[in-house]
Amino acid sequence: MKGLLRSALLHTTITGFALFSLLATGIASAQTRTLEEVVVTAQKRAQSVQDIPLAVSAISAETIAKLGIVDTTELVRLTPSLTVAQGDNKQNSSFRLRGIGTDVFSIGVEQSVAFIVDDVAAVQAGQAISNLVDIERIEILRGPQSTLFGKSASAGVVNIVTKAPTETFEGSVELTATDDDEYKVLAAISGPISDNLGYRLTGHWSDREGYINNLSIGEDVNDSESKGLRGKLQWSASETVEADFSAYWSKEETTCCALTWLDLDPDAKVFGIVPGEIAEGITPSDENYDFRSEDGPVDSSENSGANVRVNIDLNDFILTSITAYDNWEYANDGDVDFSNVDVFGFFTGGAVQGGFFSESNTETDFISQEFRLQSPSFDNYDYLIGAYYAKAETDRSFLRNPGLPIIPSDWSGVSETESYALFGQFTWRFTEATSVTGGLRFNNEDISVDYLDQINSLDQTVSGDDSDSEVLGSLSLQHFSSDEVMFYARYAQGYKGQAYDITSGFTQVKADNPVAPETSDSYEIGVKSTLWDQRLLLNATAFYTKYEDYQAQSTAVTSDGELVININNVGELETQGIELESKVLLGDSLTLAFNTSYIDAVVKSFEGANCFPGQTEAEGCSGGTQDIVDGELPNAPEWKYSIIADYSNDLGDMSFYGFINFSYTWQDDLNFSLNQNPLTKHDSYGVANLNLGINEKASDRYRVTLFVNNLTDENYRSGIGDLRQLYGGATSLTNIFGRGSQRYAGVRLKFNF
């Protein structure tokens, strides 16, 4: 069946490209508009995205505005190779590229997909789940990027660039209201203060009601309220020196993300013994938006920081300094038994009442300093050299079920990482059409941990430190067969440093034996082309990447009620596939884009993996572990594609023009569990979104947009969980629903002045 599906989709893809070509050829004589050149900094210098030997998806501010992309999780609508795994809170969520990502409980483990805003990297996974406000462009670099972007880019990079101050005065106010009770305000003002000093100030506020109903308290959860400010100053100190100062603050408070019942044995009980009906009045299903809980989830995050970027022109050489500080505070409270059953009352004979709960508080302080020297483009070569230093300290306290013998936890920990790196990249042009680019990076990292376990008031202190160094590189060859077509081949190494598995039950043995580094070797060939007089963009990439010691998490509840969470090094992974990107202008009014990917992400060998709940010996479980061979990676659909159509109409003598854009994203079936649990699989699905409205012609003074997201009300889940270990082996499957799993509509008004 899958073979037929692949053949059908491949046929569809080829047919689509053929139709694009025919349509573009047919309208060539009438066409006056061309595709705009997109400039990116994917190689830490400004270059056309079509001229660099990298697989990069570039998303412009115009695309973000037209499609109503409001947060980072919605980027999966535009880039088929990108997926997001959503957990019950931000720290349990992560991005994946080509099937590779990191989803762990420990504060000591960084991501495989680096998340970078204005050249400043995020430390914790939860920082990547954020609003998109005042964005200039987003670059998604697919495949290992560790040579230029460091140790947290072993699978790729999401690089976000915010808007800079403008040379002339401008301002805007954008108002949004939806039928699911969201209200949002976004305002920006920018312009010159003097001849050599400019500013930009942006503020945002939003409030959205919840869409998951807690029957126990009669309120909806998964609501959200957020607000923030960002300010920028751009100072031209002299003809050769320019400095950018940036500061930001944001805060978000939510009750996200509740688990609802997908399938539940009516006789299920907490640990198989605690009396009480878990889902009274609830019909479990894949469309169930009801749950019961005494409290939680409650989620609060606050992010603030500042950075300074200085560019110095040294006779056409550019020396760049980037100094940054970032602070992130995150608090999360949750209901551990996922019900309103009086678990405490059962175990304490009624002395204490309520259910299992957890409280977590995390704070990360991060500083970084980067220096880069960029050469001019000489006739035959150019180069870039740099140095990087970063230090991050993360504190976390965690409390769960105090005073009970069942999965209790009471600990605090401090994780520190300090790293420095030297890196460089050199491009040699053999001819005007052919060049080779090589890069090297030396990275050194010191890590340390201090951990205090306070279970039963017995303070147990664990400490450890270690260091690791690595030299890695990349090499690419590119050839322009014409001004419009470029072929390339690339080899790159990826690296993510060793880490501490800081969780409940952290021991001195774990402190003395950090989780080994994650490494990868990637091979890629591709073609980039801009055809039909710059009216058709057509890019294709084929890749193969092998990962060693992939860092993955396993969770189990032992027979004596202890919750065990471990980070393991998966022996070997492989991800391979094909990615296609296309965009065509059909006349002056219609633009079509079609992007697709086929990704085969496989666990080649994982010895000693946890069994999935209920796994039998006949299914490969022995002593609580299994050996996974040729298993599928979690949240990694084989096929995924997106179609975007954008149409505008001048409307004659009207003072405004009309526009409409439609997008559709489809993905193959997948499994949410690394341990190959057959009950956590999700069927394929597709989601359509529609935007239409008017825009003032003369000076772009106003824009009115009506939009409907999830036009066909396609139900899908962002996660599926199996809680049989918590419920004494009884069937107990849960849903996680994102906001986009239901249809909602709204209006967006933007005024420019």
Over residues 616-664, the pLDDT tens digits come to 999 999 988 899 999 999 999 999 999 999 999 988 889 999 999 999 9
Q: Is 61 left (phi over 0), alpha (psi -120 to 50) or beta?
A: alpha
Confidence of residue 712 (pLDDT cuts 50, 70, 90): very high
Between CA 669 and CA 637 the distance in angstroms is 6
Residue that wins the pLDDT comparison between 402 and 226:
226
* Alpha-carbon distance values, 104 to 501, 531, 566, 592, 652 (Å): 9, 44, 9, 39, 56
Strand partners, 26: none
Q: What is the mean pLDDT of residues 407-436?
A: 94
Confidence of residue 355 (pLDDT cuts 50, 70, 90): confident
Beta strands in 454-535 (DSSP E): 460-480, 485-496, 518-531
Q: Which of 242, 210, 11, 248 is nearest to 117 (CA)?
A: 248
CB 279 within 8 A of CB 292: yes
Whether residue 15 is predicted with pLDDT greater than 50 in this model: the reply is no
**Cα diameter, the chain:** 84
Per-residue model confidence as pLDDT tens digits over 385-403: 999 999 999 999 999 887 7
Confidence of residue 562 (pLDDT cuts 50, 70, 90): low
Structural domains of the chain sorted by starting position, each given as residue range(s) with its CATH number in brackets: 2-415+422-462+470-752 (2.40.170.20)
Which two tokens mark 733? 């499957």
Q: Which of 306, 207, 205 is nearest to 249 (CA)?
A: 306
Whether residue 560 is predicted with pLDDT greater than 70 in this model: the reply is no
Between CA 724 and CA 732 the distance in angstroms is 5
Between CA 667 and CA 652 the distance in angstroms is 40
Percent of residues in the chain assigned helix, strand, coil, to nearest 5: 10, 55, 35
Q: What is the mean pLDDT of residues 711-739?
A: 93
Confidence of residue 564 (pLDDT cuts 50, 70, 90): low
Confidence of residue 206 (pLDDT cuts 50, 70, 90): very high
Between CA 688 and CA 714 the distance in angstroms is 9
Cβ atoms < 10 Å from Cβ of 649: 13
Q: What is the mean pLDDT of residues 192-208?
A: 97
CB 133 within 8 A of CB 90: no
Whether residue 9 is predicted with pLDDT greater than 90 in this model: the reply is no
